[in-house]
Structure 1
Amino acid sequence: MQIEMKGIEKSFGTNKVLRGVDFDVHSGEVHALMGENGAGKSTLMNILTGLLKKDAGTIKVDNHDTTYASALDAEHHGISFIHQEMNNFAEMSVVDNMFLNKEIKTKLGLVDQKKMRKEARQYLVNLGSDIDVDSKMGDLTVGQQQMVEIAKSLMINAKIIIMDEPTAALTENETAILFKTIRELRSNSVGFIYISHRMEELWQICDRVTVMRDGLSVNTYQTKDVAENQIVHDMVGRDIGDYYPGRHPHLGEVALKAEHLSGKKFHDISFEVHEGEILGFSGLMGAGRTETMRALFGIDKLSSGKIYVAGKETKLTSPSVSIKKGIGFLTEDRKNEGLITEQSLEDNIALPSIDTFRKHGIIDKKAEDKFADMLIKRLTVKANNAQVTAGSLSGGNQQKVVLAKWVGSGSKILILDEPTRGVDVGAKKEIYELMNQLTDRHVAIIMISSDLPEVLSMSDRIEVLYEGKQMGVINAQGATQEQVMKLATGGK
């Protein structure tokens, strides 16, 4: 299959998102699509797969002018789109999600659950996954849900598979399995459009790369012939320098101390984080990092343990209690837990701070507007204004809105779970610089990250978990990926 898109344009009201994009892909290649958040990558793919209508330009599939009526129409013609924000039904089982609208029937017309379970297990086993197909989707980790989405795309025997940030929530082992699968499918003439902000993946898996900036396709390269600095320059329109701004911490008092915390998926976790410190939490998927922080924040229940905030024992029984104690939590799942996507940026940003805008029981709308506008500018959120819905933004800009919410709340202790997941290289550096600014103002940050270079570069100390247990704490200065991975895999 050969797909060629020429001069694609798309506007939403007065906002011109695509201004003439050229892009092509063919069977048997992996073509990367790179660009900052808001560059128009997802919009271009939504147009290709029939989710949006183009305003101008042409789409040719095997030299024939083509327009798909819907994503299902595109699937029927061999194009699968695995979205960054996964579209599944949390209360349904894995197998029912995988076979939704594709149910296998018996001769009597009944749903053949036994056969569907067998096939679902086989697709997941082929990806090296042992996910229980009878589990509820909502009970899986984000990484496990991503593996199910990848398996679903393989079920339709797609000729072109679009992957939007497929490895953002995967472990190194899962990523290696995914890349092995991609290479095997590529050798069998399947083509891939690969959207990622992980620069190092280009040279691992991609044959070509097209860079987009501000709604335009800037350049297309053979990956073997282009340097990383050139791609970054094309993406942001400038040389970005070092990705990581460097840490020069000045630690204060202990802001939060946890003693012997235990819960459903973690046991006997103790740590402390100081004012002005970034304490990294590292470990493989399922290590218990997120579960520990959810329980600490009051989302889930602790079975035992004590928490001290500013030296005083504190019962953090709910998120509202934690917020009142000056703790903010940027969750891993921004779509379902971090944002109210159908509400405005202003409403989302002001939510934890809403009481500060009340005067005699009435919200001071002018003060709220000023507050939201200030934070949108400070975090360089790309949006027409504060009244657009959070769901209308790109993934990276949604992440900035969640950050703005907690920065604006005045949190003294900030838990960041995968703070740069799905965020482009330019926005990543802005987030790192913001983290440094916050710690310079004596904010204590706990950062969970699956990105080892990020953990090593932005943490002052690193706590490593393995299967719910604490394996050790490493001083980040001079630490290596090998040291962290040894502990993360159960070594001493």
Structure 2
Amino acid sequence: MNNFILKLENITKEYSGTKALDNINLAFEKGKIHSIVGENGAGKSTFIKIITGAHKQTSGKFIYKGKEVSNNSPHNSMKNGIGCVYQELNVIPYLTIAENIFYGYEEKKNIFLDKKYMREKSKQILKNLGVNLDINKLVKDIGIGNQQIVEIAKSLIRNVEVLILDEPTASLTKSEIKNLFLILQKLKENGVTIIYISHRLDEVLQISDVVSVFRDGKLIASDINKNLDQQMIIKNMVGRNLDITKYSKEYSSEEEVLKVHNISSKYIKDVSFELKKGEIIGIAGLVASGRTELANAIFGVDKITDGSIYINGKKVNIKSPSDAIKYGLAFITEDRKDTGLMLEMSIKDNASISSLKSFTKGLFIDKVKQEKVVEDTLKTLKLKYSSIKEHVNNLSGGNQQKVVIGKWLLTNSDIIIFDEPTRGIDVSAKEEVYKIIENLAKEGKSIIMISSEVEEIFRMSNRILVMSNGQIVSSYKNGCVSSEEIFKDSSSLLRERDYEK
């Protein structure tokens, strides 16, 4: 028992009579990687917030290093050597990478900041992560994947004894994940206890010593890695065997709904492709390859400096997202926190913000119609919520993503861009999102899907475009390419290939 650095005994957390956690008993062994998995809303986030002191348990004991802690708080938790990298990023956009890494833990030399030391230490940390980033660059100018790496680096300057990682690989490439796992192994060898939260079960089984499964606020199962497989974990997560179907890659329409012709922006160059009615195009590529920047250009977020866009055969001039919406485009962005939702507003207001005109009578909003349409749409998405007047920031990450999708479904757009549609979503919720996308395509909607998960691209796409250095470097019919070829293309400096096999 002396090997357990952290124990939680009979932990229960109630909100207005509802149990978010129900009598959880779990212990974490020193120098081990212990993964916690479960569907969105299973209680994982609440459990982590109790460990970090952000929330106080309703009942139960919190025991750290053999002593019961009765006054846990975020400050005391960090002081005691418990660190956490949350799924929702906490970077400061207008500070440099080095300043973000040391924010709140600045090093001083006499009375002045030791900027040289902080820059050199930041370089070393990033080098250990296998990342080549300019530490003097503002965080607002790097992609979300690199921002996630900065968050991880921040934790490494602190002498943590328990490190919690909440979906740390959601936006990382395979090579970055490999480097992260090497770092975690080093930390483990140095006696650091790691609590690893992820929906990527293959990663969980690869990196973990122990895996615990939460469902509906309860601990369903906990076992050592070698006794588990993905199907067993999934069954414990969802309470049933999950029927995972594969989308049919065949579609018959030759009707062109979108043509992108040689468009360029500050971030992309000479991009061309066509999208057919009912087609799902998957866009693959490494982080910073230009995938999101292409979506931003099409949707009017970034200014197009050259080239043309045609919708249903007609040239259009999209200068802003409002123009894009007018032409029947929708954009589910990769970062729901910053660009997809207004977290302090209600579910109802978030879901209807892009389609308010359809609920307006003269100068007034028909609130009865608004609430009915929103509720009907969210019901099809199987959203878990108590009231549509509930604030979005009270929802789990997966349910927040469903609100974003619902918002755009209400616009009845014909062309929908999904950027990392299942980022941070559990395996069951992923299936629901996949079925939503499949049904949209079957209804004649045309889909552009950007994803860092090659398996997701293979599963969902009729056609696959690979991007590198802001350009499309290759195009494949699904079924005619391997993941190795996609990785090779996305890593290649040969940017003039645009072929179809």
Indicate the TM-score class for this superposition, using the shorter chain for normalisation: over 0.9
1:89-488 aligned within 5 A: 89-107=92-110, 109-242=111-244, 244-488=246-490
Assess if the C-alpha contact under 8 Å between 1:252 and 1:276 holds in 2: no
Deviations 1:48-87 (A, max 9, x none): 1100011011111122111453223211111101000011
Quick one: distance in 1 between partners of 2:395 and 2:245? 24
Q: Which amino acid in 2 is paired with 1:106?
A: K
SS of the counterpart of 1:162? strand
**Offset of residue 252 of structure 1:** 4.7
Deviations 1:276-310 (A, max 9, x none): 11000001111111101101100011111100011
Deviations 1:422-447 (A, max 9, x none): 00000000000011110111000000
SS of the counterpart of 1:169? coil
Unaligned runs of 5+ in 1: none
Assess if the C-alpha contact under 8 Å between 2:261 and 2:308 holds in 1: yes
Quick one: distance in 2 between partners of 1:77 and 1:244? 47
**Offset of residue 199 of structure 1:** 1.0
SS of the counterpart of 2:278? coil
Task: Name the residue aligned to 1:66.
Answer: 69
SS of the counterpart of 1:487? helix
**Offset of residue 448 of structure 1:** 0.3
Deviations 1:139-167 (A, max 9, x none): 11111111111111111121111000000
**Offset of residue 10 of structure 1:** 1.2
Task: Name the residue aligned to 1:35.
Answer: 38
Quick one: distance in 2 between partners of 1:223 and 1:259? 50
**Offset of residue 245 of structure 1:** 4.5
Shift in CA distance, 68/101, structure 1 to aligned 2, threshold 3 Å: farther
Deviations 1:428-470 (A, max 9, x none): 0000001111011100000000100000110000001111122
Assess if the C-alpha contact under 8 Å between 1:456 and 1:479 holds in 2: no
SS of the counterpart of 1:166? coil
**Offset of residue 22 of structure 1:** 2.0
* TM-score (norm. length: structure 1): 0.97
1:48 aligns with 2:51: yes
Task: Name the residue aligned to 1:76.
Answer: 79
Deviations 1:115-136 (A, max 9, x none): 2212122211111112222211
Quick one: distance in 2 between partners of 1:327 and 1:484? 27
Question: Please, which moves more after superposition, 110-119 or 353-362?
Answer: 110-119
Equivalent of 1:9 in 12, 32, 49: 12
SS of the counterpart of 2:108? coil
Q: Which amino acid in 2 is paired with 1:91?
A: Y
**Offset of residue 487 of structure 1:** 1.3
**Offset of residue 170 of structure 1:** 0.4
**Offset of residue 336 of structure 1:** 0.3
SS of the counterpart of 1:267? coil
Assess if the C-alpha contact under 8 Å between 2:36 and 2:198 holds in 1: yes
Quick one: distance in 2 between partners of 1:16 and 1:32? 22
SS of the counterpart of 2:465? strand
Shift in CA distance, 124/67, structure 1 to aligned 2, threshold 3 Å: farther
Identity of aligned residues (%): 38
Number of aligned residues: 491
Quick one: distance in 1 between partners of 2:106 and 2:364? 53
Shift in CA distance, 55/81, structure 1 to aligned 2, threshold 3 Å: same
**Offset of residue 250 of structure 1:** 3.7
Shift in CA distance, 120/360, structure 1 to aligned 2, threshold 3 Å: same
Task: Name the residue aligned to 1:23.
Answer: 26
Quick one: distance in 1 between partners of 2:293 and 2:178? 25
Quick one: distance in 2 between partners of 1:436 and 1:243? 11
Quick one: distance in 2 between partners of 1:69 and 1:428? 35
SS of the counterpart of 2:322? helix
Assess if the C-alpha contact under 8 Å between 1:330 and 1:338 holds in 2: yes
Q: Which amino acid in 2 is paired with 1:78?
A: G
**Offset of residue 243 of structure 1:** 5.6
* TM-score (norm. length: structure 2): 0.96
**Offset of residue 195 of structure 1:** 0.3
Quick one: distance in 2 between partners of 1:243 and 1:25? 36
**Offset of residue 486 of structure 1:** 2.1
Q: Which amino acid in 1 is paired with 2:452?
A: S
Assess if the C-alpha contact under 8 Å between 1:412 and 1:444 holds in 2: yes
Deviations 1:158-191 (A, max 9, x none): 1111000000000111101000111111111111
Question: Please, which moves more after superposition, 55-64 or 239-248?
Answer: 239-248
SS of the counterpart of 1:272? strand
Quick one: distance in 1 between partners of 2:136 and 2:384? 41
Quick one: distance in 1 between partners of 2:348 and 2:17? 20
Q: Which amino acid in 2 is paired with 1:233?
A: K
Quick one: distance in 2 between partners of 1:168 and 1:395? 12
Q: CA RMSD in A?
A: 1.3
